[in-house]
Chain A
């Protein structure tokens, strides 16, 4: 019989199913195993069946394992003469590499035939190596008449049913262990789920996780290949694999029960020796073996959760349990106004880091503060769940000056000393210089205004006696307003009338004529122009003459009717009109008289030229006066 364990521990994570290739290749029926004290050599013995049929052959295997297994001497064949006769022996050696360590096992297989019915004890086997004796445990066997029942099955039952009914409860089970069963609220409890197997488990997957209402849970990170080790339980050697390790943090006090974990696994059973059925023979081909599905449930876990003591509870305590430390840093201690400063607070330690609350900041009012960015780092590799929670605040100083971030405190319940502890950071000083830009983003205006009033009160009442006014009708609907609105218009109208009246009374014709002089002159010129177009020579010159004389008459309030050129010259001279202007003006007048009374016809072009000349003379005179 080949007892080599080819533990090709090919584990691969696949949709949550861990696949273990050939876990624990041991014989179908193991018996006692003993482990020697020495690390480098172990001896164990076992039989292929603890119930043996009379006159049937059975195997007793003695296995030496450890790094010295090869060099150790061969143990003696135990004397079983009381109930069996010795047939022969064989040896097999296997080497395996587990986690980088070479392990050798050498197995001596002795074949016997049972000759007596009854219960017997196979004595312990011992070997002496380097002065030390290693001994295996004795094994109890039962020899029955007829065939051993466990190896048989009735031909009526099908393969499947047979496999379902196969009892593996003693060779394959799931066990949950806790590191402590009495804890404080929020204290970590580590639960380890282990598969114990003496059969070949090819595949397993968790089919049902325990209901964790009332607990925070945090899974430990386990190696992808579960580490296997040997353990003897009730005289049987098992391969043990840790398949799940979890830390739970009970949320409330009281007695808590955690439901069992359920896993489903595929077990490879060795082929059955049956010659009755062709199909059975085919399916029970030694190369395939038989695969059976099994559901394993762990034991439920009971935890007694104690409430946290009220004595000495800090005011700002918010439920953190474990061991922690706190640190606060800023990225720069010298900034300009409106420049961002990052304040980083790190709370780290072992415990449920995820429920560590945001520490209360005690910031100067001149800082604008934004909601923190919270990051968690959780380490699941060690003996306990630990990690850190980081709070990154962005602060923007709005005003220059020396600012101090007061110590930030954090309190927790310390598990080791079973008391509350308060941690405080050191105060942080920040020197704020005046920045060059005064820009404040629109989004921050509100909070800035809110900040402005922190620690202030409204302004005091007015103490000086005010000027009281009549309530009720607004002033612009009052009579005096309308009086003031219309009085100026009325007054100016009155003034205008009064002015006219005065003019009339004083009979100041000169003023009136003066005002009208230009107008009249222009009217006369226009009339003259009409005559010109009609080529009425006499009328034309007459009208121009009237315009020129009339203008002077009006301006200086002399009667135009009796005005002659000499008089005009005198009047103009007395009012300081220059020689040139005067002579031009008088020249025009003389020309008018000459042309009016001359018989000769002057042509139209001449008239036009004279018209322009006269007009120019008028304008020049008007400017001069």
Chain B
């Protein structure tokens, strides 16, 4: 009676992407075709092939990473950064992604110094970005399921699982659930509340108000990462990593 339920839960946990694969082989062939174009130096066509995967409704960090590389080779640093950022969003701690993103960022005009942060907040941020959100979710859910599985075992077969070892296992998994759960919730909260974007136009004057006649506060160049905080018609309120705030026309931006 117990086993089938547990098996069912674990099967679901361990194979999260099972639905994506196998439906059609198209993404694989498109990906290989894109790589061939890239290696032949035909970056424009490579990008087109990769984009087809996305428009077919599939994605992976590798696709964004390769698109970013192709844009970089074409000299379009802003689009390269945009796609590296998208790859990073799916795979935050990948070395190649971070290297290329940093490399591309060095080619941009603006140097934005990140504001120093409280040590604890920075550590929490690092931890919550240590792995991708999906993996976080799966981990948190697995621990959650494990905790309940243990509880159910204890309820149903106390004579077997009523011992102290069981009790310790439940407490430990409870602590783990708290840790991973809070990191995961923080990530979900962040993903739901913050929208990051990349400036794509060569140069844009940032205004003090959502109005073309507003005073220029500062100037940004292509490739800068900004946070979108507000919207007013076609205008968006942006915030830089160094804390500067202003308004710009939304057409010059692409959301990561």
Contact = CB atoms under 8 A, between A and B. Distances in A.
Interface of A: 446, 449-450, 453, 456-472, 474-476, 480-481, 483-485, 487-489, 491-492, 495-496, 498-499
Contacts of A498: 156
Given A461-B38, A469-B60, A489 B100 contact: no
Contacts of B62: 462, 464, 466
A457 B103 CA distance: 8
Contacts of B103: 453, 456-458
Contacts of A466: 31, 60-63
B35 A495 contact: no
Given A459-B96, A492-B155, A465 B32 contact: yes
A488 B144 contact: yes
Contacts of B191: 474
Given A463-B35, A469-B20, A474-B191, A481 B137 contact: yes
Interface string B145-181: 1011101100110000000000000000000000000
Nearest to A461: B66
A275 to B, nearest CB: 85
Given A489-B148, A492-B152, A470 B19 contact: yes
A487 B20 contact: no
Interface string B62-79: 110110011010000000
The 3 closest A-B pairs by CB, nearest first: A488-B148, A466-B60, A468-B58
15 contacts: A457-B103, A458-B100, A459-B69, A470-B20, A471-B58, A472-B57, A474-B191, A475-B137, A481-B137, A484-B9, A484-B13, A485-B141, A491-B5, A491-B152, A498-B156
Contacts of B117: none
A484 B69 contact: no
B106 interface: yes
A499 B2 CA distance: 13
Given A467-B21, A470-B59, A491-B152, 6 more contacts: A459-B99, A462-B65, A462-B96, A466-B61, A468-B60, A470-B19
B12 A484 contact: yes
B48 interface: no
A469 B53 CA distance: 10
Nearest to B152: A495
**Chain B interface category by residue count:** 35 or more
Contacts of B12: 480, 483-484
Contacts of A449: 102, 106
Contacts of A469: 17, 20, 58-60, 134
B149 A488 contact: yes
Contacts of B144: 484-485, 488
Given A461-B38, A476-B188, A484 B66 contact: no
Contacts, number: 115
A569 B119 CA distance: 67
B104 interface: yes
Given A484-B9, A499-B156, A468 B27 contact: yes
A297 B69 CA distance: 74
A498 to B, nearest CB: 7
B27 A495 contact: no
B116 to A, nearest CB: 10
B16 interface: yes
Interface string B10-46: 0011001101110000011001100100100000000
B23 to A, nearest CB: 9
A465 B96 contact: no
B104 A458 contact: yes
B126 interface: no
Contacts of A461: 35, 38, 65-66, 69-70
A460 B69 contact: yes
B111 interface: yes
Contacts of A458: 69, 72, 99-100, 103-104
A483 B144 CA distance: 13
A502 B17 CA distance: 39
Contacts of B217: none
A468 B53 contact: yes
Nearest to A502: B156
A358 B175 CA distance: 64
Contacts of B155: 492, 495-496, 499
B127 interface: no
Nearest to A446: B111
Contacts of B195: none
B14 to A, nearest CB: 12
A529 B213 CA distance: 87
B13 A467 contact: no
Contacts of B5: 491
B212 interface: no
B54 interface: yes
Contacts of B20: 467-470
Interface in B174-219: 188, 191
Contacts of A453: 102-103, 106
A481 B141 contact: yes
Nearest to A457: B103
Contacts of B106: 449-450, 453
A314 to B, nearest CB: 31
B144 to A, nearest CB: 6
A10 B185 CA distance: 92
Interface string B94-126: 001001101110100001000000000000000
A476 to B, nearest CB: 6
Contacts of B156: 495, 498-499
Given A458-B100, A461-B69, A491-B152, A484 B58 contact: no
A249 to B, nearest CB: 38
Contact of A487 (B9, B60, B61): B9
B202 to A, nearest CB: 21
A455 B20 CA distance: 40
A460 to B, nearest CB: 7
Nearest to B147: A488
Contacts of A496: 155
Nearest to A496: B155
A446 to B, nearest CB: 7
Nearest to B97: A459
A495 B16 CA distance: 26
Contacts of B96: 459, 462
B107 to A, nearest CB: 9
Contacts of A489: 148
A451 to B, nearest CB: 10
Contacts of A450: 106
A491 B104 CA distance: 51
Nearest to A489: B148
Nearest to B26: A468
From B58, B147, B152, residue with most partner A Cβ within 10 Å: B152
B151 A492 contact: yes
A143 B161 CA distance: 150
Contacts of B102: 449, 453
B60 A467 contact: yes
Given A461-B66, A462-B66, A470-B58, A476 B53 contact: no
